[in-house]
Amino acid sequence: MKIVVESTDNAIKEAAQSLIEGRLVAFPTETVYGLGADANNQKAVSRIYEVKNRPRNHPLIVHISSINQVYKWARNIPEEALNLANRYWPGPLTIVLQRSDLAKDFLTGNQEFVGLRIPNHTMALKLLEEFEKLGGNGVVAPSANKFGAVSPTTALDVIDEIGNDLGQNDLILDGGKCIIGIESTVVKFAKETIELIRPGAVTLSQIEKFTGKIVSKPQEKLGFRFPGILDKHYSPVAKVFISNKAMPGDGFIALNELETPKGAIRLASPNNPTEYAQQLYQALRLGDKKKLGRIFVVPPIIGEFSESIFDRIKKANGGLNLDG
């Protein structure tokens, strides 16, 4: 595995060439780091599932660089889906649509739908554009973590997560810290309905306001601890409590305005929900690096973005992020 820190044209071209040749390239986006592969190369996509230890029925998001590509990957595209894409792309929004023949079972987890997104990150966009210039079309990229673990928001996190599982010729592009810090909003357009599959920085009411339609929320999918086999991949390793009752020696994550309970170890002090999202995964990782047994987290409550953050805290509290 090679780490590329410069975002020079040549470095990115080389990374795009790697994708064309079937290698994996981890890259930064505005949300979290993704582990990329050529979406049309079954072998390369298969390696993503192996590296992440992710069940094969979990669909991957296809990352594209222009709205025109939506027509290649999807069909029967509702107009409001296209309008929404035009409004929020490039950005932290994944749109799930009826798939075209191009979107094969090996990336949709056998579903008739495909998730698409244009990320808002210079390095990611350049990579996608160079890849397309070389004849590529679409890069699948799940978060670059082990299944069930916290998504990486720096290149170092990617190394910690999957560095040992990448091959000699795979790449990690280092684009610094991710500006949003939690994964994209995922919305599914099925016939007449719009469903929020995963909350994120683009909020449910923004989508409702924009489309003029009610967006249904999925049933709460709380994570839970599998006994045994996935032991290593709990997210995080420390047990997460949604409470301010930290005891001496426990980790503590809360907005800056909240005082640290006596003897607790402060892991982050964000000033607002935006900073909270940026720092949350780093703080959970820090708790694990410090080998803390327990981390107490007080979620932010003001503003709709707080609900998306709370979703991720609940997943960490459940011990296993089934989003993978």
End-to-end CA distance of the chain: 22
Q: Does 142 sit near ligand TXA (CB under 6 A)? A: yes
| Residue 141 exposed, middle or buried by CB count within 10 Å (0-12, 13-18, 19+) | buried
Strands 61-63 and 139-140: antiparallel
Nearer to Mg ion, 119 or 261 (CB): 119
Nearer to Mg ion, 36 or 324 (CB): 324
Q: Does 196 sit near ligand TXA (CB under 6 A)? A: no
DSSP conformation class of 101? T
Nearer to ligand TXA, 96 or 254 (CB): 96
**Which x/- pattern, by CB under 6 A, does the window 31-70 give for ligand TXA?**
xx-x-----------------------xxxx---------
Out of 114, 128, 187, 313, point to the residue binding ligand TXA (CB under 6 A).
114
Out of 17, 22, 100, 113, point to the residue binding ligand TXA (CB under 6 A).
113
Q: Does 323 sit near Mg ion (CB under 5 A)? A: yes
Q: Does 29 sit near ligand TXA (CB under 6 A)? A: yes
DSSP conformation class of 110? T
- Subset of 100-129 contacting Mg ion (CB under 5 A): none
**Which x/- pattern, by CB under 6 A, does the window 145-164 give for ligand TXA?**
--------------------
State the DSSP string of 35-60: EEEETT-HHHHHHHHHHHT--TTS--
Q: Which residue has the tokens 């350049």?
A: 126
Q: How far apart are CA 218 and CA 195, in angstroms?
A: 7
Strands 25-27 and 34-38: antiparallel
- We find the least distance from the C-beta atom of residue 56 to Mg ion, in angstroms, to be 15
Q: How far apart are CA 195 and CA 124, in angstroms?
A: 27
Q: Which residue has the tokens 């973590």?
A: 145
Q: Does 284 sit near ligand TXA (CB under 6 A)? A: no
- In three-state secondary structure terms, 211 is helix
Nearer to ligand TXA, 63 or 254 (CB): 63
Q: Measured in whole angstroms, how far is the alpha carbon of residue 65 from the centre of its chain?
A: 17
Out of 143, 184, 235, 279, point to the residue binding Mg ion (CB under 5 A).
143
- We find the least distance from the C-beta atom of residue 265 to ligand TXA, in angstroms, to be 29
3-class secondary structure for 229-284?
Answer: CCHHHCCCCCEEEECCCCCCCCEEECCCCCCCCCCCEEEECCCCHHHHHHHHHHHH
Out of 186, 201, 295, 320, point to the residue binding ligand TXA (CB under 6 A).
186
Q: Does 317 sit near Mg ion (CB under 5 A)? A: no
Q: Does 138 sit near ligand TXA (CB under 6 A)? A: no
- We find the least distance from the C-beta atom of residue 4 to ligand TXA, in angstroms, to be 17
Binding site for ligand TXA (CB under 6 A): 29, 31-32, 34, 58-61, 94, 96, 108, 111, 113-115, 117, 119, 141-143, 183-184, 186, 188, 197-198, 323-324
Binding site for Mg ion (CB under 5 A): 143, 323-324
